[in-house]
Each structure stands twice: as C-alpha cells, then as structure tokens.
C-alpha cells in the first residue's frame, strides 16, 4: 500500500476506502475541479498535463471512469505524456485518486520546470525557486486529489 502521510492512513481506516466512490449528485463538482485547476496553474503545471488531469477528474467525479482517451498534439513532451497516460491507465484512475500516481507524471512535470527555468535564465529573469521540482509537484498533486476525494465522500454521505 502506498502511504503519503498520516491523513491518508486515517482516511482509509475511517472510510475503508469508500470515500473514492463517485456520486450522481454533484452540488460543488465545478468548485472541486476549479480548485485543482487553480492549484495547477499556480504550480506551473504544463498545459497538456493540466488538461489530462482535469479531464480525468471530471470524468471520474461524474461517471467513475476506468480509463480516458487523449490525442496528443505534437508538443515538447509528446512521448512522456503518452507514456504517463498509458502507465496511469495500467495503475488505474481509481488509484490515482487514492494518491497512487505514475512516476512518469513527476518526470514530465520536472522536464516542464527545467524548460521554464532555462527560459527564465535565457531571458535574464530570476530562475524558478528551488522547491519547484517534479517531486514537489507530485506530492502537492496527491494532496489536491486526495482532499478532493475526501470532500466528495463527505458530500456523498449527506
């Protein structure tokens, strides 16, 4: 079992993993998705990565998806995104919302930070802060999606 902190362990002990069941009633679905979207923008998440994760989040909340399809435009990290999506499909999107994400998401975002930082250096701007890394991004993404799944669980219990 993957554990990313005491809150996840407590959550799984209290709810027995049932907090990950989607519901047909979504009073605050848009708010939950927008919250993750705002965080991803603030964190400098690559645009294709943002689109994939938000698409999966919406589909999971509405339909309890098992897999998604995505046609990648040719961009700087086409192969990395394709691999990350294939690995997450294999791990399972339900596991994504439990915090079990493909390591390739982390590597893809790290490459985005490296490109962004190099661009800032080339334009004589200050480089990104050192805490901006793929690992930092992945840890915070996990916090976002687990928190969202917990709030979904609470809405399901009402």
Provide mean pLDDT across the span 96-110. 93
Provide mean pLDDT across the span 8-30. 44
Helix, strand, coil share (%) of the chain residues, nearest 5: 65, 0, 35
Task: State residue 103's pLDDT score.
Answer: 96
- Asked if 54 contacts 14 with a C-beta cutoff of 8 angstroms, the reply is no
Share of the chain above pLDDT 90, in %: 28
- pTM for this entry: 0.72
Give the DSSP letter of residue 130.
T
Which tens digits make up the pLDDT trace of 116-143? 888 777 777 777 777 889 999 999 999 9
Task: State residue 124's pLDDT score.
Answer: 77
156, two tokens: 């399901």
| Residue for token pair 């962004």 | 116
Radius of gyration (C-alpha) of the chain in whole angstroms: 16
Identify the weakest region by mean pLDDT among 1-15, 73-87, 104-118: 1-15
Cα angle: 21, vertex 150, 53; to 5 degrees? 75
Cα angle: 118, vertex 41, 4; to 5 degrees? 95
């Amino acid at each position: 079992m993957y554990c990313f902190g005491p809150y996840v362990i407590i959550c799984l002990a209290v709810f027995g993993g049932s907090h990950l069941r989607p519901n047909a009633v979504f009073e605050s679905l848009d708010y939950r998705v927008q919250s993750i979207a705002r965080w991803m923008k603030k964190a400098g998440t690559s645009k294709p990565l943002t689109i994939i994760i938000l698409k999966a989040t919406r589909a999971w909340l509405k339909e309890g998806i098992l897999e998604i399809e995505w046609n990648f435009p040719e961009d700087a990290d086409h192969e990395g995104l394709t691999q990350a999506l294939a690995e997450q499909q294999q791990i399972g999107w339900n596991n994504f919302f439990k915090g079990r994400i493909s390591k390739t998401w982390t590597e893809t975002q790290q490459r985005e930070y490296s490109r962004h930082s190099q661009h800032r250096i080339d334009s004589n701007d200050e480089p990104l802060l050192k805490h901006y890394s793929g690992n930092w991004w992945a840890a915070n993404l996990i916090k976002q999606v687990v928190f969202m799944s917990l709030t979904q669980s609470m809405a399901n219990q009402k």
